[in-house]
Structure 1
């Protein structure tokens, strides 16, 4: 899953990485050995047991922007939606034998479906 999110991180950095200044404690893109630790974006997913969720358990897609600047809600929404669409497409490539979907669950996007143990 990390490789998939690293590809998405690269896309977001290319498209939006110069729109906002980095947080002063954040390294510039490519300055660390892990894409999660540098550049404007940190993209990934966190497991949720799904209590109180319509979709149940799954992985909540997280998009963090490392800046002290105000990012308008409209821009955040566009980036989150675009990220969810990329995850939806890349799941088919990275996990072709899994029945996984990406859907909006309240105000978040979630990967759900065949979460059986294995190569997630």
Structure 2
């Protein structure tokens, strides 16, 4: 069972990623053909389960990372088409920019930033829960 403040943080983070998923689907959802086993965007209650893109935060303790702990920005395109490394990099960069722009809206007063950590983008900063 999660602490209520951590659960609230996770819900807010999920809402942020759902909004970014919607923007990516609107902008680039027709860039590749959808995997035939994947529902069309908006067909489920969970944006991670439908449409071309699956974008999610993955917490990492940051062992071996110069940037330390944070949430990796995980992006996957649900397609059987060939997605080049350059195309994936463009999509990941676009998602990172959107998340960076929206962090203050979803987490006002928190010092959070999006940085490059190796080949991935990561959200780092103040993940404190305050008084527990």
Do these two structures clear the TM 0.5 threshold for a shared fold by scoring above it?
Answer: yes
Secondary structure of 2:56's partner? strand
2 CA distance for matches of 1:24 and 1:11?
Answer: 22
Shift of 1:91: 0.5
2 CA distance for matches of 1:47 and 1:37?
Answer: 19
Shift of 1:75: 0.9
Q: Of 3, 19, 25, which residue of structure 1 is paired with 2:31?
A: 19
How many pairs align?
118
1 CA distance for matches of 2:112 and 2:21?
Answer: 20
1 CA distance for matches of 2:110 and 2:123?
Answer: 11
2 CA distance for matches of 1:23 and 1:117?
Answer: 39
Q: Of 54, 68, 77, which residue of structure 1 is paired with 2:66?
A: 54
RMSD: 1.0
1 CA distance for matches of 2:71 and 2:47?
Answer: 19
Q: Alpha-carbon deviations, 1:46-98, whole Å to 9, x = none?
A: 00000000010000001111011101111111111111111111101000111
Secondary structure of 2:94's partner? helix
The runs of 4+ residues in structure 1 deviating greater than 2 Å are: none
Extract unaligned runs of 5+ from structure 1.
none
1:29 pairs with 2:41: yes
The structure in which a higher percent of residues are helix is: 2
Secondary structure of 1:60's partner? strand
Name which one, 1 or 2, has greater alpha-carbon Rg. 2
1 CA distance for matches of 2:37 and 2:129?
Answer: 36
